[in-house]
Amino acid sequence: MLYYKKLNTKSSRKQEYRKKDFKNPYFKKKTVVISTRTVYSLIMFMITIFLWVYFLFSSSVFKITNIIVEGLGDDKKQLVTTEILNFFNRRRLLLFKGSNLFLLKSDHLKIHLLDAGIVIDDLSIEKKYPNKIIINIIDKNSAFIFFTKDGGLILSEDGTVIKREEGNKNAWQILETDKTTTSTENISFNDVDSFLKQINIDGNFPYAVFYDAYYLINPAPGEVHLAKNTIKNILDFSKNIYEKIGVTIKMVGFYKNNGNQKIILYTNNNWKIYINPEEDGLRQFYKFFSTFNDRIQDINKPLEYIDLRFGDRVYIK
């Protein structure tokens, strides 16, 4: 009698299927092969880029050799030109010199001049390829001296410090007063004239000398003085009093009065004018101008003081 063992063919097929590594003959895996020609082309491309970078930024072809500076007087022009050459000797991007025509930026040059203590309003650069530049500079004009305990500060109308001047530091002591009480009434016009003669700072400035016994600070060139708003009020007043009635302010005194700010304008006709440092300069002038027309009328009239500090009231003595 014959016995047949029934095979579990389904299970066998499954097991056999699991063991097989099927490969689709219609989708063969591609092997990427970089040809020698491609490698050579990439190398040549990188060399070309390097040569162009060198040609544009490192070769002498575009090295600035002709510099023209416009908009400045001879003395400051020479100073600026020297600093431009110093700027050119600096490295840009760690590799290239600043004298390259492509790398030269006006903002970078302006910052360099400021770091060197040269304050200007603005500059523009006209590039003439391959190696010439024309630098047009708008200078920041000196308006007045702000004389401090440490010497003189030359300021522009907007209160920016243009430069420091040593001057005669001892001149400050001529008008020195008690810093906590008011003793400015004891400062005579002879004292003011003596101070103005002693400061020993050259220059033709359109506005008065400012004497500072209040702020007692010494900001660096390029910085704006803390008193810029008060300065604007004083300059507005000074312009108008000169244009409308012909009186010149020859000195402005900043003093402390019991810890508060006290400002006195000393005029060429020996008036002391007290002004409010916070009030608009034009408003104070027109308040003064109305009083002048009604009660003073003559610029040669002897007066001890004119006080504009208290609202719409004007006090005269």
Nearby residues of 195 by Cβ (< 8 Å), 6 or more positions away: 171, 174, 175, 211, 251
| Mean pLDDT, residues 263-271 taken together | 92
The verdict on 304 and 228 lying in the same domain is yes
Domain end position, chosen among 123, 139, 155: 139
For residue 80, give the CATH number of its domain: 3.10.20.310
| Mean pLDDT, residues 245-249 taken together | 92
The verdict on 224 and 95 lying in the same domain is no
d(CA 177, CA 89): 50
The verdict on 203 and 272 lying in the same domain is yes
- 144-177 pLDDT, tens per residue? 889 888 888 899 989 999 988 887 878 888 887 6
Q: What is the DSSP letter of 292?
A: I
The verdict on 106 and 173 lying in the same domain is no
Decide if pLDDT at 180 tops 50.
no
Decide if pLDDT at 299 tops 80.
yes
Tokens of 216: 């007692």
Domain end position, chosen among 139, 159, 186: 139
Where does 44-119 show beta strands of DSSP type E?
66-70, 91-92, 96-97
d(CA 66, CA 79): 17
Range of the domain at 131: 60-139
- 79-134 pLDDT, tens per residue? 999 998 888 887 765 566 767 777 788 888 888 888 888 888 898 999 888 889 89
Query: Does residue 8 sit within a domain?
Result: no
Domain end position, chosen among 139, 159, 178: 139
- 205-215 pLDDT, tens per residue? 888 889 988 88
d(CA 222, CA 220): 6
